[in-house]
Amino acid sequence: MPPEPCPPHAALAQMIFGKWVSMAVSVAAKLRIADHLAAQPRHVAELAELTQTHAPSLYRLLRALASAEVFAEQADGRFGLTPIGELLRTGVPHSQRGVADYCGSEWSWKPWGDLLGSVRTGRTAFDHVYGEPVFDYLGKHPDESAVFNEGMTGFSTAAAQAVVQTYDFSVFRTIVDIGGGHGALLTAILNQHPGLQGIVFDSPDVVAGAVSPLTEAGLAHRCQVQGGDFFQAVPTGGDCYIMKHIIHDWNDDRAQRILQNCRAAISANGKLLITEMVIPPGNTPAIGKWLDLEMLVVASGKERTEAEYRTLLANAGFQLTRIIPTSAPVSVIEAIPV
């Protein structure tokens, strides 16, 4: 028999109290609990010593997370990993540890307390709370920036694999990853297509973190690392320009400026690929509709519909040719210069 639907009052309660679970998962991620449990289950006293925490309080955290199937409390009192908890380990395939750390960081969640202000005024809550835009703030706070970059890398890994499995990159010669961070997406593409060359382009302080991962992946001879400002210009010489979760960070005017710079740099027969969530119509459930609120609160951007992308691209000198769904929540939005 199929499970009975959740009563409306219970479903609403789960939504209201969702922050409890989110913050508990984030604290476990910050403490690297899953990493400490990777080899074997452990007692709370041992975990408390390893994490320099208060053992009774740590037990309460783990007990709650065990009820959500993140960890499992055994009969002997030790806690072990579950399939969900495995994804909080560092460096495992599809790891979400960095994402959880990012989402539970004060600078990330505090602006959500001003969501009402954003809804009333249209202003970005982060700017109001911290007095400056998020990327300016991160540029001045290296510890928070490191958390953000690790979170984005973790968020990128699953999406990168889905994009590589969906789109045929073999027709290109040089792929330029605009706002490529530490190179996770381009690494996945180059590993799949040994004949391609690549350029990772981002702000100098961010893209410096791509050198080591690319070297470790054996791609340093095939992939350049370039720093700069995509509002001013982007590298020339590519026949494929790709951006993943970049355009959604900015309002239409700023996004159009990035796209215009790509139009100025791209070869006549090149293609532009935008990897983003595309908002579906009506009441269709979509995580992009929730990420759109994150953009309202933290950044100055937005998630967009197909029609909005079509208009944005046309205003920058591109024609949207197709939107290709992937196995991840993102799609590949393909465009050509006109």
User: Catalytic residues, which ones?
Assistant: 248
Residues found in the chain: 338
* HEC readout, the chain: CCCCCCCHHHHHHHHHCHHHHHHHHHHHHHCCHHHHCCCCCECHHHHHHHHCCCHHHHHHHHHHHHHCCCEEECCCCCEEECHHHHCCCCCCCCCCHHHHHHHCCHHHHHHHHHHHHHHHHCCCHHHHHHCCCHHHHHHHCHHHHHHHHHHHHHHHHHHHHHHHHHCCCCCCCEEEEECCCCCHHHHHHHHHCCCCEEEEEECHHHHHHHHHHHHHCCCCCCEEEEECCCCCCCCCCCCEEEEECCHHHCCHHHHHHHHHHHHHHCCCCCEEEEEECECCCCCCCCHHHHHHHHHHHCCCCCCECHHHHHHHHHHCCEEEEEEEECCCCCEEEEEEEC
Residue 78 · residue 101 · CB < 8 Å: no
In angstroms, the CA 22 to CA 319 distance is 40
